[in-house]
Structure 1
Amino acid sequence: MKHTLMRRTSLWCALALAFTAPMALAANTDGALVGHVAAGATVTARNPQTGFERTVTADADGNYRFPFLPVGTYTVQASQGGAAVGAPVTVYVSLGNATTADLGGSASTLDTVTVIGAGGTIIDTTSTESATNITAEELQRLPVERDALSVALLAPGLVRGEFGGVSFGGSSVAENAVYINGLNVTDFYNRVGFSSVPFSFFKEFQVKTGGYSVEFGRTTGGVINAVTKSGTNDFQYGAELVWEPDFLQDTQEDHVGRISRYDEYDRTSLNLYASGPLIKDRLFFFGMYEARDYQPRNSDDGYSNYFDGDSNSGFWGAKIDWQISDKHLLEFLAFSDDDTLTTDSFNVDDAGIRTYENTSFNETGGKDWSLAYTGYLTDTFSMKALYGENQRNANVNSLADDACTLVQDRRVSSDFIGCTANTSVISRTDERKAARLDFEWQLGEHLLRFGLDHEQNTSDYNSRYPGPGFRYEVFNVPGSGRVNGTPVPPGTTAYVRTREVRNQGTFETDNSAWYLEDNWQVTDKLMLNAGVRVEGFDNKNAAGDSYIKMDNMVAPRFGFSFDPHADGRMKIFGNVGRYFLPVANVINIKQAGPFLDRRTFYAFNGFGPDNTPILGPQIGPVDESQGNGQVADLRGEVDADMDPVYQDELILGFQQQLTDAWSWGIRGIHRKLHNAIDDMEITWNGFCEVDFFAMANPGKDLTVLSDTDCDGENDAFVNIDTSKTGWAMYDVDGNLIGITGWPKPRRSYKALEFQLDRAWDNRWAFNASYTLSYSEGNAEGPVNSDTDFSDSGRTEAFDNPWVNFSGDGYLPNDRRHQVKMRGTYAFNDNWQVGATLDARSGRPVSAFGAGNPFDATEFHSFYVCAPNCSPASPARNFTLYQRGTQGRLPWTYDLGANVTYLHSFGTADLRVKFAVYNLLNQQRVNEVNEDLELEDGLGTFNEFYGQGTGYQSRRYGQITVSVDF
């Protein structure tokens, strides 16, 4: 096969041992090459594929460093007095890492070469970061689903969470960051998701699970860092067909309350690419187009509606690399992941006959680009500059929007009846404009790294309900007999809430930061680093005024790496750091716009012939407390002195090289989350009874403009210690009985990780990890997966003090045990097999109630009332169900396997791969209904409690055929 000799040479160079350890930190859009040589010797690094060449001179101690090297294979040549000494050495520079090539300590030993840092098992004794690197070549050998999150899940300590996200180290799925070629492509609207780029566009991934350096911020979870492919001096082209046919899918199993047997899909993609030189050794291109066809088909849980979808939007991507000289590089990246999913919906009658109802459209993605400059200004001083724009659309509409009316009978289920085509009409475009500068300056034993970055994140947003712009919801009258603060009419057993929600505007957030870091090679055994990142977040309202603004957030980070024998075979390392999380744009939009949330309550008099509720007498006044359609005076709705959300992390680890191919390691992690920013209903301000929601830090001081003379108008700023006050307690008769406050948010993650790794040698490779972890507290993060609340920072967790009162326990992303394995074996040059295993224990289960034993609030809590729950009862009985104490869901085992055939035909390389995912076809439950009592139904048990709401996807097969020329 082509390139086999090059790969083998690179591997065995990488597996050699190192005897010195100069600083080996690398940039995070490329890599670095460092090492030791005779003092004053010159070292030349050349990429034979692109002709890029740089030469540096070793310092007085014999250290040399090439920063900001594009990822790839290089030959390294030492010379003395203008004459080459020894043979060139082949090394591989990987993403975010440094390759160490030690070329001897004197002129007489320049032909003694050792290399570390280029293989998967090699110990980088100067790094304190926790990261997993995975190349496109390794992914070709494994059964890995073709998306970046599935790649990230190969790293230890990560679990697939709710809302299509991944949890890093106990964090929620809304706390991560994703970068492509240095451009941040993370969804900033809700912080769940990122730009969708095909597998074939990527060259290498790096998954940062902890201890990442100061150029990274705005995350309390983890980082997925990736670089795309680039052109070389060799003209190359090819095609790849990936097919997931429906006939290779097992039937999704039905469960109680959930019909899934009609769920299936057919997915096909055809990728065409070409790359090569525009000007040899100077200007290169890589271009790709992927034609895609995705046809999902599924029913709702009760098979009352059926949906037939189709998406056939193509992806295009391009990369231009201009090597202006050996001191100046320019890179241009552009891609489009625009996509539209068109779905026909059908009503299904009792006989199973489907009748066409509507067609909906879901538009996602956008056009992205970036321009990056790298300057090697001197042998010791280098810089990078980047500017780019990232776009994500989210447009949801349907053909029947103007005629559709939404109706829910929540006495039965949350499913819609009547017109079910589309629950909202949304038009949103999120655009990020990002700029950053990064510098490296080598000063003897100190490597200084510093820089700054700025992001302007703008959301253009317009949303409404379909039809007349509101929806009907039918509820049972609670046991108190009061709705909307008013007694219901005699004989009324159910009521209707009509809700009109509208919002439109342009919302901007500015995030900025600067950082400084010193990496000090104290001895050949000990490296210390100390850095600081200073951040600022400025979320603005629809009028362009600052809504939530936090400046001068100082994030210190410290680390060490100790190589006891100074031979590169062992290290003890550790780091401690602070990481801040920005406020998602959804907060600006939902809390700081011209938001209308008009709720009107009526007695329920049955359904009309069109399934629309017949409205009886109105109950109480119209409620516009959540928004009256105007940009409010936000001084009365947001803490004037907000504290940011941040997490402190401590890691201590050990790694050891067992042989040239085998290594093992252990890592201990402790993470602690500080603060939350969430909406809280304030009903007592220290002067008056009030009723408003404020964005604030639960359990901390709240400074807000409020009413101090009880005339209903805000007249002065007040300070409310929400750990002690802010909530007025009433009994069932409406009597004020006391004042209380909120519990403080808490989340801690403790884990031990064990890893064993065997590097690929063209015959076989193996990696295994085991993670023992504990995630505890009362705050999962800015989204809640146990209550299915995905608006980042607007959860129910702190709406009132009782939601989280006595709510400490194991959190939803707690998985006590995780076992991950992956491996490949090559029988010969033509046949390979691969396998992956992800086994983890189940998440904890809670039981949520609808009231509390302290006042008459009926909403959401960990207290369940039974019996004696009527208003006339002299003493209601409540039982505390501590968070996460109602057992655990079962273990899940996700086993994948593949077989690959490879063959060369002249200049063509053929690869045929057949992969099976969830080989055991386990469809175990991974999410259940945790509401033991119905909301607004004190004493009314939920018949669906404990029923599954999510399951593993069934077994399916995938066929990949690629030809490269």
Structure 2
Amino acid sequence: MKKNVLLSTALKVALGAAIAATLPLHSVSAASNDGSLVGKVTTTDQSALKGLEITVRNPDTGFSRTVKADEDGQYRFSFLPVGKYIIEGTRDGKSLGKLAEVNVILGAATTADVTVNTGNVEEILVVGTRVIQAVDVKSTESATNLTREDLERLPVERDILSVAMLAPGLNRGDGDLGAGISFGGSSIAENSIYINGLNVTDFYNRVGSSSVPYAFYKEFQVKTGGYSVEFGRSTGGVINAVTRSGTNEFDFGTEIAWEPSFLQSKGTNHFDREGNPYRMYEWDEYDRTNATVYASGPIVQDHLFFFALYEARNLENDYSSDTANTFYEAQEDTGFWGAKIDWQINDSNLVELLAFSDENEEERDAFGFTYPEGQKGNYQQTRFTENGGLNWAATYTSYITDTFTAKALYGENERRFSRYSQNDVECARVRDLRPGGGGDIGCTSSSNVTQRDDTREAARLDFEWVLGDHQVRFGLDHESNASAHQQYYPGPERLLYEINRAGTTNVNGVPIGIGTEYVRTRQNEVDGNFETDNFAYYIEDNWQATEKLILNAGIRVESFENKNGDGETYIEQKDMIAPRLGFSWDIKGDSRSKIFGNAGRYFLPVANVINIKQAGGFLDRRTYYQFLGLEAFDYNGVTRYRPILGAQFGAVDDSQGDGTVGDLRGEVDQDMDPVYQDELILGFQSMIDDKWSWGVRGVYRRLHNAIDDMEISSTGILCDGEPVSPGFVMGNPGKNTTLFTDTDCDGESDGYVTIDTSRAGWAMYDEDGNYAGEVGWEEPKREYKALEFMIDRAWDNNWSFNATYTLSWAKGNAEGPVNSDTDFADAGRTEAFDNPWVNYGAYGYLPNDRRHSLKMRGAYALGEHWEFGATLTANSGRPISALGECNPYDDECFWSFFVFNEATGEYELRKRGSGGETPWLFDVGANVTYRHSFSTADLAVKLSVYNLLDQQRHTEVDEYLPSVPDGNADYGLGTGYQSARYGMITLTLDF
């Protein structure tokens, strides 16, 4: 090895040491859109390294930073933009040349160590340089990093959730709740997604996020646990991504991704037990084309760069309704645009501007349809759905000194949503929910007419200050989340009509025979502006306690403030202290293996949907009528039906909203505890050789509290022998609830009452209808335990491989803010605690319990032109419950785990998971890529096939079983299935 090369490598490490002197070796964390670089120069005579400085330089942009190595030979660079760097060094002003090349990855520390020999103080000979990325010995987090290049070699669907699913411990949520992922047993409404440091998570319902096309991304990081105090407002996981940037080279290119219908296999039809259409997929097919063009380059060489991308989209999606009586033709053709500007003012100050628009519109035509002929009939209606919006963020980074760095971000994240059709103006929705009733039988099937504009204003400051052996990070972040919302049922009367067959002996408080048919009308409306303010500040110390041991101690202090439709605060949770502790032990001191662990607390904010439905002019009025039959009428050439109403029975029920904001002191617990989760992780990770690594991790998570609505039917105060009943209240089930209510029986609220809902709050009555005391709610519980095993071989231009196996248990009586078993997606307003009987006997394995999960992925290059990739996911089934309605203790009939036995006349408790499990799911993907480089362009053509085995097993079932043997003939039938096999052809041309 040449003397100057060895010297440079040594210098690199030495410079690292110099930096470490100011910040001797510490644990290294990175901001949400940066990475870090650390290293150490080792020699027999450390005094020979005095005066060494290390420089990192990005050859693509010219950006460089220089720091001094400390006396122990350690150095570090924080807040480095993700990318490729050359490490160079100088000693006493004399250049030592190039020491190494490294890739700084997102949210992690790359280690570059140098070993040198010093013959004398004038000469330094570099013996070797080792760059390690597989084992980040400076971090206590659990995270999976994936680059754009990694994913190009694999058959991965082109969305951020599919990328995240490559990480261990993650499972897809049930489709009826929307697109989402369960991290470590959590519900799909507990995660956060960041793009270039901007939080783009849906805050209305906490399911989904702003959508960015695959071609715009550069790198992804999936944080599955133990993340630092910089991140909060999540009890699930964090998906962190950065977008592409411009360089000193002008580049442009195009990418066309085509999912043609001829690469799709036919879906399988499914029938109920009487042979009627139940879930019909035979006629489902789509054709999707995404055509992207991009350009990037310098505006001012070495200082100002741009990256711009436009994606033209076209999706033609044809499918039938579940029962094959309606056929839909949907189309989307709204384009995406995105741009990024990077301004390197100088080597100490950087500015980044990001902007993109993910606005999208779907037009869906509905037609009549006949089965089994498969004939499309008369036109019915066109539904318009719009979503997305403009997003932007500005980030400023300043390297104030070698040891003090600051970063500031301000941005806005917009998500608009509207859904309507012409039929919605003229027609009410009519649903026939009787067994075999056919669902929608009126002239519209729209669930509601909705328009909402959600806008997040985000601002944050992050600092890092190195003080001796301590790397101190601190900062604050604030989000203002505003929703302008309007929603109502279609039709001139704004009513939903539902025809039901009674499965119980009591409906709306009126005795009624099992099997009696009735109509429920529902008026559900809300209109207003709603806001939530979330604020946090944090401080964290990463202490290099010894040469091998890093200790991490941090604290995040959160506050959540929810406002009603009048702009007044009605939920305020302050001073929520979230400690995080961790350690990382570099076992041999060679950055090749570590034992790590952490313990932390994570808080979850209240979603904006609660403001809208609890604290607005929310009207939810339900009225019950006798059913006298159906009236037929003609609409667009098709015979439609509406119910003929008989006499009303029971009182009008508007207990969940009477159209006014009201006095929320009587509807919301005045001393509500927040929802939070505690987490413990212990793991081991090690390099086997320079390419192979392996690891194991144990995880324990426990969720504390729930914020949900409960029907409080007794405050413990009796007026004329009857308890005061405030109705539905937001609070902590199983804990104290403090309400402003009537305390002197004059019909007016005049004082506060505290109810221990673990023992009271629900009024009980004897057989004669007399008040007979109270019962309470079971406290929410959720525990997740897991062992994760991983083995990985890094890509070496020849092949790569990764496999993970997760053995886990998710157990409790509360899934989280949303419910998969009842398909209830309003976060924080689930049905799990509406009355004490809903959750009675509900402790067991939860819907997100997947006992076994195996994930494998690999890529192989055959020569310089051909590459092959494959993925495999194998998951065991999820638990199935038997959900009833009534209970043996009172006449309340809603969800429960009690099933009525018609033969014995008794109720049977069917505990959670009593219905067995859904089948194992296997998903195999494969791809082949042809690459060729021309003199001015690089060509890649890729064929990917998803669900190669074309398995179409059911992923969820109908879990409703009110009685046996004749309560629900559809119990246990599949309600969701794996998508049929499909393929994608991708052509990429880069100039």
Of the structure 1 ranges 880-889 and 225-234, higher mean CA displacement relative to structure 2 is found in 880-889
CA displacement 1:13-67 (0-9 Å, x = unmatched): 99xx999965332222111112224344111110000000111112333322211
How far, CA to CA, are the matches of 1:353 and 1:135 in structure 2?
A: 45
1:732/1:856 contact within 8 Å kept: no
The yes-or-no answer on 1:715 pairing with 2:750 is: yes
Q: Give the counterpart of 1:680 among 702, 706, 710.
A: 710
2:872/2:922 contact within 8 Å kept: yes
Q: Give the counterpart of 1:899 among 911, 916, 928.
A: 928
The yes-or-no answer on 1:168 pairing with 2:179 is: no
Amino acid at match of 1:335: F
Q: Give the counterpart of 2:962 among 926, 929, 933.
A: 933
How far, CA to CA, are the matches of 1:868 and 1:394 in structure 2?
A: 49
The yes-or-no answer on 1:29 pairing with 2:57 is: no
1:24/1:100 contact within 8 Å kept: no
How far 1:432 moved relative to its partner? 0.2
How far, CA to CA, are the matches of 2:247 and 2:517 in structure 1?
A: 70
CA separation of 1:649 and 1:479: change in aligned 2, threshold 3 A: closer
Look up the match of 2:914.
885
What is the 5 A alignment of 1:748-827? Answer: 748-827=783-862
How far, CA to CA, are the matches of 1:600 and 1:127 in structure 2?
A: 58
How far, CA to CA, are the matches of 2:836 and 2:938 in structure 1?
A: 64
What is the 5 A alignment of 1:565-964? Answer: 565-610=588-633, 611-688=641-718, 689=723, 690-731=725-766, 734-867=769-902, 876-933=905-962, 941-964=967-990
- 2:713 alignment partner, SS class: strand
How far, CA to CA, are the matches of 2:464 and 2:604 in structure 1?
A: 26
Q: Give the counterpart of 2:356 among 323, 326, 335.
A: 335
Of the structure 1 ranges 76-85 and 573-582, higher mean CA displacement relative to structure 2 is found in 76-85
How far, CA to CA, are the matches of 2:879 and 2:507 in structure 1?
A: 34
Look up the match of 1:497.
520
The yes-or-no answer on 1:366 pairing with 2:389 is: yes
How far, CA to CA, are the matches of 1:595 and 1:398 in structure 2?
A: 23
The yes-or-no answer on 1:550 pairing with 2:550 is: no
How far, CA to CA, are the matches of 1:678 and 1:234 in structure 2?
A: 55
Q: Give the counterpart of 2:200 among 182, 185, 208.
A: 185
1:602/1:619 contact within 8 Å kept: yes
How far 1:855 moved relative to its partner? 1.8
Look up the match of 2:473.
449
CA separation of 1:220 and 1:956: change in aligned 2, threshold 3 A: same
2:696/2:787 contact within 8 Å kept: yes
Amino acid at match of 1:69: L
How far, CA to CA, are the matches of 2:128 and 2:471 in structure 1?
A: 24
Look up the match of 2:159.
147
Look up the match of 1:475.
500
Look up the match of 1:384.
407
How far, CA to CA, are the matches of 1:239 and 1:314 in structure 2?
A: 15
1:317/1:335 contact within 8 Å kept: yes
1:458/1:506 contact within 8 Å kept: yes
CA separation of 1:939 and 1:865: change in aligned 2, threshold 3 A: farther
CA displacement 1:321-357 (0-9 Å, x = unmatched): 0000000000000000000010001122466441100
Look up the match of 2:45.
none
The yes-or-no answer on 1:507 pairing with 2:530 is: yes
2:733/2:778 contact within 8 Å kept: yes
Look up the match of 1:251.
266
- 2:632 alignment partner, SS class: coil
TM-score (norm 1): 0.95
CA displacement 1:450-481 (0-9 Å, x = unmatched): 0000000000000111112011112234643x
CA separation of 1:930 and 1:536: change in aligned 2, threshold 3 A: same
Look up the match of 1:129.
141
How far 1:707 moved relative to its partner? 2.0
CA separation of 1:916 and 1:353: change in aligned 2, threshold 3 A: closer
1:556/1:578 contact within 8 Å kept: yes
Amino acid at match of 1:342: E
Unaligned runs of 5+ residues in structure 1 are 1-9, 870-875
How far, CA to CA, are the matches of 1:193 and 1:486 in structure 2?
A: 41
How far 1:713 moved relative to its partner? 2.8
CA displacement 1:884-927 (0-9 Å, x = unmatched): 12211111110000000000111200000000000000000110
How far, CA to CA, are the matches of 2:263 and 2:792 in structure 1?
A: 33
CA separation of 1:857 and 1:323: change in aligned 2, threshold 3 A: same
How far 1:852 moved relative to its partner? 1.5
1:753/1:769 contact within 8 Å kept: yes
Look up the match of 2:337.
316
- 1:769 alignment partner, SS class: strand
How far, CA to CA, are the matches of 1:677 and 1:494 in structure 2?
A: 35
2:667/2:726 contact within 8 Å kept: no
How far 1:734 moved relative to its partner? 3.2
Q: Give the counterpart of 2:432 among 391, 395, 409.
A: 409
How far, CA to CA, are the matches of 1:804 and 1:753 in structure 2?
A: 31
CA displacement 1:524-557 (0-9 Å, x = unmatched): 1100010000000001100001121100000000
1:21/1:566 contact within 8 Å kept: no
- 2:266 alignment partner, SS class: coil
Look up the match of 1:54.
65
How far, CA to CA, are the matches of 1:36 and 1:109 in structure 2?
A: 15
Amino acid at match of 1:959: I
Of the structure 1 ranges 617-626 and 533-542, higher mean CA displacement relative to structure 2 is found in 617-626
Look up the match of 2:398.
375
CA displacement 1:645-690 (0-9 Å, x = unmatched): 0000000001111111111100000000000000000001010321
CA separation of 1:110 and 1:684: change in aligned 2, threshold 3 A: farther
Look up the match of 2:319.
298
CA displacement 1:382-404 (0-9 Å, x = unmatched): 00000000000110011212111
Amino acid at match of 2:764: M
Question: What's the Cα RMSD here?
Answer: 2.0
Amino acid at match of 2:526: N
How far, CA to CA, are the matches of 1:628 and 1:565 in structure 2?
A: 67
How far, CA to CA, are the matches of 2:842 and 2:503 in structure 1?
A: 24
How far 1:210 moved relative to its partner? 0.3
How far, CA to CA, are the matches of 1:479 and 1:491 in structure 2?
A: 5
- 1:401 alignment partner, SS class: helix
How far 1:868 moved relative to its partner? 5.9
2:83/2:103 contact within 8 Å kept: yes
How far, CA to CA, are the matches of 2:50 and 2:441 in structure 1?
A: 80
TM-score (norm 2): 0.92
1:345/1:421 contact within 8 Å kept: no
- 2:609 alignment partner, SS class: helix
Q: Give the counterpart of 2:79 among 61, 68, 72.
A: 68
1:929/1:945 contact within 8 Å kept: yes
CA separation of 1:100 and 1:344: change in aligned 2, threshold 3 A: same
Amino acid at match of 1:441: W
Amino acid at match of 1:329: L
How far, CA to CA, are the matches of 1:605 and 1:349 in structure 2?
A: 28
Amino acid at match of 2:932: H
CA displacement 1:155-193 (0-9 Å, x = unmatched): 001001122110000000000000000000000000000
The yes-or-no answer on 1:43 pairing with 2:54 is: yes
- 1:238 alignment partner, SS class: strand
Q: Give the counterpart of 2:306 among 285, 288, 295.
A: 285
- 1:272 alignment partner, SS class: strand
Of the structure 1 ranges 886-895 and 413-422, higher mean CA displacement relative to structure 2 is found in 413-422
- 2:676 alignment partner, SS class: strand
